Structure 1
């Protein structure tokens, strides 16, 4: 299993992984279904975004991003998804742990993530990888202006 820098040649594949409009919202907050490969490719040009892909043998099985914020001294893990055919095998946790290792190597102090409140599977995965909820005051402040009240998690 290898965690590698994301190759935009795989953007269409990753864009095809959400199997419903609801899954797209929980994955990346978009309202468009299906997601266009060009959308995933464009994410690679966002400032301070570092995308990774989880590869098993020759097969792409996971995707996730690190959003680096040097000013706030933090990293946010984001847009994490596992290929539909590879789900249920613990690869989400493998991917998150790999992203955490990358976040630690960045030298930034804090690691956070936000999760759609209806994404129970993701919440179990992230809690199993050592994330816990932020305090209620921070969550309320960070959710101001967000499309939903996300569950905000910090790596402990």
Structure 2
């Protein structure tokens, strides 16, 4: 499972690199273009991910040579690395319908409560404070409006 996730991340980093080089300008008139940062970050991410892929392949080959072939049973702990991906996709869907403020509150609250196993009262307090601080800083102080939901809030 980790090998598949690392391969997906490697391919996404390759896509970022391609977009930074071909679509956005990497270098324009003796100064960095808009594709400069994506290319730098994607190359770094590709290097680290490649090291993780090689490490995982070595581990698989080592385990294969030491163990007899057994039926592979998929357990809940094997799916744990996919949890942030699924959760992020769900947060994006909630963001489209509920807006930034509600989505931020729900995302932090559910993550603290379910993933981090923080008590209900503490999760609620932290989520309210986090959401309120972000709202006050961006909307009230900096006057940057948040995208609204389809319901207008």
What is the TM-score of this pair, normalised by structure 1?
Answer: 0.24
Higher strand share: 1
Higher helix share: 2
The structure with the largest alpha-carbon Rg is: 2
